[in-house]
Amino acid sequence: MTVEQFESARTTTPLTRNKSSAKRILVTGGAGFLGSNLCERLLSKGNEVLCLDNLQTGTRHNLTHLSDNPRFEFIEHDVTAAYGLEVDEIYNLACPASPPAYQADPVHTAKTNFLGALNALDLAKARGIKVFQASTSEVYGDPFMHPQREDYWGNVNPIGPRACYDEGKRCAETLFFDYARQYDMRIKVCRIFNTYGPRMRPDDGRVVSNFIVQALRGEDLTIYGDGTQTRSFCYVDDLIEGFVRLMNSPDAVTGPINLGNPGEFEVGELAEMVIAETGSKSKIAYRPLPANDPQRRRPDIGLADEKLDWRPTVPLAVGLSKTIAYFDEFLRREDAAMKEPIKESAA
Ligand code: NAD
Ligand code: UDP
């Protein structure tokens, strides 16, 4: 369904609000990893959810379990084009998050970040509603401050291969704060640190999904560089809890606010944990480190703790085992489907 089809159908068959406190909430990028988990969470609280996505990296598969819900609607749309929808809140998540995905069409990534933010802000301004931006720890680049606090301005290469994403997200933050100051708008900006969990794509390219899928398939785990670079890995349920707390926080809490797990692991350590947890016979294969790959990353989550009373609760070992179980089932289903005989057409 397109935005236009949805809006014209909506006047004749409005979505039913089952509670007076329920809202109609727009999630851009809702077919992706985080977006689909967020849609599920918002629906579970009785809200109506409109998911807007161009399916660039997201999949309909992520939404199949929601598609029968009368309070859920999927709208296929690219956020670089303006849209009008009658909603009460906006979560702006649309943007590929995996480096290979966002570098595949860097110009479109930059447009998604800038125009996607602009279009979400314009809709929020027109309707006088709150708007949430999924920003990223990438705004800190390859950081000189460790752990990273929100008042650190970052160290980003503006012309490198990651810039379409990093600078795009920085520019989106600029737009959010300029709209807030210039038009007195209610904004919520969170900086997400590496998050993992069910509904990542097996071919997404990010480290956790790569390692798990490689281990389950008995392939070599590809460590880029020597594996001493660090990341902090947050389980998806913890992050989504942080999103909702931020959106529902007092108006004075605008962010930017870090959301992530402060546990810091070397990439090599993560590979060992995945091999141990899957019981795989996979070995390690070293590959060149991509350009501008940050060496260290860990959030200071003092602000989220103070303003949102939020901190992660799922340790990496627990989150990994849940994610491994998800991919194990996903890959088995995929293998079974590949083995199914092709049905002859009746015609
Ligand atoms: P994802 O790639 O799984 O999801 C992104 C979704 O946005 C996909 O469904 C994709 O099809 C959609 N999309 C991309 N460009 C679009 C466009 N122009 N118009 C409409 N839809 C578009 O990634 P994710 O991990 O779910 O990330 C969601 C958001 O969170 C992104 O904005 C990302 O930058 C941010 N983020 C994620 C992480 C993380 O670790 N997962 C870290 C930092 C920031
Ligand atoms: N990485 C790796 N092997 C992989 C995928 C990623 O060693 O198969 C490394 C990557 O170079 C980076 C870290 O793992 O140092 C996290 O990469 P990811 O793409 O998940 O996220 P980001 O670099 O955006 O933090």
The answer to whether 42 touches 30, Cβ cutoff 8 Å, is no
Rounded distance from Cα 168 to ligand 1 centre (Å):
13
Distance from Cα 267 to the centre of ligand 2, integer Å: 8
With respect to residue 258, please indicate whether it lies within any of the assigned structural domains: yes
Residue 179 falls in the annotated catalytic set? no
Distance of CA 340 to the CA centre of its chain: 33
Residue 337 lies in a domain: no
343 within domain boundaries: no
**Spatial separation of the C-alpha atoms in residues 51 and 105, rounded to whole Å:** 23
Q: Is residue 189 part of a domain?
A: yes
155-170 pLDDT, tens per residue? 999 999 999 999 999 9
Q: In this structure, is residue 205 part of a structural domain?
A: no
What's the pLDDT at 15?
52
CA of 26 to the centre of ligand 1 (A): 14
Closest residue (by CA) to atom 1 of ligand 2? 207
| Predicted model pTM | 0.94
Ligand 2, atom nearest to 223 Cα = 7
The Å distance, Cα 176 to ligand 2 centre, comes to 28
Burial class (CB in 10 A: 0-12, 13-18, 19+), 59: middle
Q: What is the CATH number of the domain that holds 106?
A: 3.40.50.720
Domain of 177 in residue numbering reads as: 95-197+235-262+292-314
Kindly give the parts of the chain with pLDDT less than 50: 12, 14, 16, 345-347
pLDDT score recorded for residue 111: 98
Residue 100 domain-assigned (yes or no)? yes
Residues near 292 by beta carbon (within 8 Å), at least 6 away in sequence: 141, 142, 157, 160, 161, 162
Q: Which ligand lies nearest the alpha carbon of 100?
A: 2
- Per-residue pLDDT at 308: 98
- Out of 83, 165, 179, 235, pick the active-site residue: 165
Q: Look at residue 49 and tell me if it is in a domain.
A: no
Closest ligand 2 atom to residue 214 Cα is 8
> What's the domain count of the chain?
1
Task: Judge whether 244 lies within some domain.
Answer: yes
Which one of 231, 269, 270, 297 would you pick to mutate in the ligand 2 pocket, going by the greatest count of ligand atoms within 8 A of its CB? Answer: 231
